[in-house]
Structure 1
Amino acid sequence: MKLRKPRLWITIGAVLWAIFLVAAGTWSARNGEPTVREQTTIVEALPTVDRAVAAVVTAAAGPRAVVGVGGYERTESACDAGNRTGERYHRVATVFVTPGTEGDLVDRVAAALPRDWDALVRRGGDLHELRADAGFYVRVTGSVVAPGEARFTADTGCRIRGGTLPQPPAAGSPPSAADLLARLGVAGAGQASFAVRCASRSELSAITVSAPRPSGPLAGALPAGVEPIVKREDLLVFTAGGVGYAVRLRAENVQVTAASGCQ
């Protein structure tokens, strides 16, 4: 009998330990933080994406900077999220500055991001690239893409599907691009407006309008007495009346972004 008691207690202990592990695993699955990105959904990630874009926009804003922001864009529709099929989204902020100061812009944004994002800028040759971790497995990147133009992206990475994807924040009172289009001799067709809440609690409102290609050069959109920030054959950027304008000539149309706020 004396030899059986230890075996009995070992058996009871093993059963209790197994019950504990099951209970702990169940509680962790329901209440704990996800340990990998693939345990989260796109919908869960979007608030972090919005905060990341807001941080970038706030850092980039300035008197000689024009900032445009877009909505949620799906970049992958069937990626590998662990053992499930997932999807991937990002949101982009495009910043236009005086050519030659793009690298300073990337550095300024990196310095202004929260310290726990571990922002890192890589430089070398034509490379001037920002990488940061906004939390919840959202990556922020930024780089110079053309003279006077930098692109910043908040990327969800591949995550499982789940929930209804909301519409991105829309601009409450977006600035108008009608006068600019009239100077180009064209009328707007499709348009979309977006907004992002800046650190100052003000709102950056942006509207993007597509119109037929104008017959003349983009310089015709420039108001008298206004000095352009960027002037290329395919891109004209300037500010007038507290609104920043970016006019981009595309293969099939002209695209105008007008943005205000967050200064």
Structure 2
Amino acid sequence: MNAVPAGYAPPTGPDRPAPGRRWLRWLLAATVAWAVLLAVLTWNSVRDDPPTVREQRTLAEAGPVVDRAVGELLAAVGDGGVATLAPDRIGQGCRITPLTDGAALERRVDVRVAGDDVRGLLQRVADRLPASWRAGVSVTSEGPVLRADAGEFVTVEGRSTGPGRVRLTADTGCRPIGSGYRAPQARAGAEATAVAEALRALGGPAGLTPALSAAPCPSGGRVAHTARATTGAGPKPLATALAPVAAGAVVLDTVDAYAYRRGPVTVLAERTGDQIHVTATTPCTP
């Protein structure tokens, strides 16, 4: 028998890899398999699973949800008040993470009511909203508040903004911007004509181009429209100036607001300081 010198490791042979190398090969194979499995699971999740946090939907993707929510709110108001679509607001510069900027979209429906039963209006709106929204009205230190969930992490709220005034909002919260929000296309139709007619009655300048807003109605493929313009306040009370145009179809008459219907269009004039804001809206029906 040949003696083996001290400190000399016997050869393992060409077909017998060292135990350490075999263990490393198994570890590398397991790591690669795990990475492939994670990639497949992630791809399936992105493709098939619903979003679990708000940041998984961009402003471009959430915008249509907000538009549909505004149409639902407008339809839910119905004949409970004089409702108008307000301009959309996009808040830039919010933070998704400490290093990532985003933006938030808010659209709203402003409502004027003849009395001051804000809670009653909010409850009627909540009752008419889709059941999946889980809408409800609670009384807070600031008064009654409507809260609902329109889906895709779009929150809906309603609250009083003053005597006889209610504001209903649909809000995305802070989102990645993506390709950005594109508002529904609005047309200058009967609403713009009604605004021009009211401005003439109020002694406003001719040729004002009204700003336009639109929202899809919940059913029937219809689209709600609002046209708006502002003029200086004249000496006449709103009712005196607009009564001949209203032709008896008055739906609201207060010191600072006057509203009437011209066919399917509801016209609202509101006095604030030395200005009069005129809106004309073709609403959604419940």
Distance 1:80 1:61, change over 3 A: same
Q: CA deviation at 1:219?
A: 2.4
Distance 1:152 1:105, change over 3 A: same
- 8 Å CA contact retained: 1:148, 1:230: no
For 1:96 and 1:250, the matched residues in 2 are separated by 14
> What is the letter of the counterpart of residue 194 of structure 1?
S
For 2:25 and 2:124, the matched residues in 1 are separated by 64
Q: CA deviation at 1:146?
A: 2.2
Tell me, yes or no, if structure 1 residue 236 matches structure 2 residue 251. no
For residue 110 of structure 2, the aligned residue among 94, 100, 106 is 94
For 1:139 and 1:32, the matched residues in 2 are separated by 21
For residue 95 of structure 2, the aligned residue among 59, 80, 83 is 80
Range with bigger deviation, 250-259 or 129-138: 250-259
Q: Which residues of structure 1 form unaligned runs of 5+?
A: none
Q: CA deviation at 1:132?
A: 0.7
SS in 1 for 2:126: helix
Tell me, yes or no, if structure 1 residue 127 matches structure 2 residue 146. no
Tell me, yes or no, if structure 1 residue 247 matches structure 2 residue 274. no
- 8 Å CA contact retained: 1:174, 1:207: no
For 1:200 and 1:98, the matched residues in 2 are separated by 28
Corresponding pairs, count: 260
Name the TM-score, length of structure 1 as normaliser: 0.85
The residue correspondences of 1:75-224 to structure 2 (distance < 5 A) are: 76-82=91-97, 83-124=99-140, 127-171=143-187, 173-175=189-191, 176-187=194-205, 189-201=208-220, 202-224=222-244
SS in 2 for 1:160: coil
Tell me, yes or no, if structure 1 residue 67 matches structure 2 residue 86. no
Q: Which residues of structure 2 form unaligned runs of 5+?
A: 1-15
Instruction: Using the aligned pairs only, state the percent identity.
Output: 31
- 8 Å CA contact retained: 2:195, 2:210: no
For 1:157 and 1:125, the matched residues in 2 are separated by 24
Q: Deviations over 1:80-136 (max 9, x none)?
A: 112410111111111222213332211111111112212121125661111111111
- 8 Å CA contact retained: 2:186, 2:213: yes
SS in 2 for 1:169: coil
Distance 1:168 1:71, change over 3 A: farther
Query: In the alignment, what sits opposite 1:258?
Result: 280
Distance 1:41 1:30, change over 3 A: same
Q: CA deviation at 1:244?
A: 1.4
Range with bigger deviation, 84-93 or 211-220: 211-220
Distance 1:114 1:209, change over 3 A: same
> What is the letter of the counterpart of residue 51 of structure 1?
R
For 1:193 and 1:154, the matched residues in 2 are separated by 18
For 2:243 and 2:150, the matched residues in 1 are separated by 39
SS in 2 for 1:177: helix
- 8 Å CA contact retained: 1:96, 1:237: no
Name the TM-score, length of structure 2 as normaliser: 0.79
Query: In the alignment, what sits opposite 1:24?
Result: 41
For 1:233 and 1:31, the matched residues in 2 are separated by 56
SS in 1 for 2:267: strand
SS in 1 for 2:114: coil
For 2:61 and 2:83, the matched residues in 1 are separated by 26
Distance 1:149 1:21, change over 3 A: same
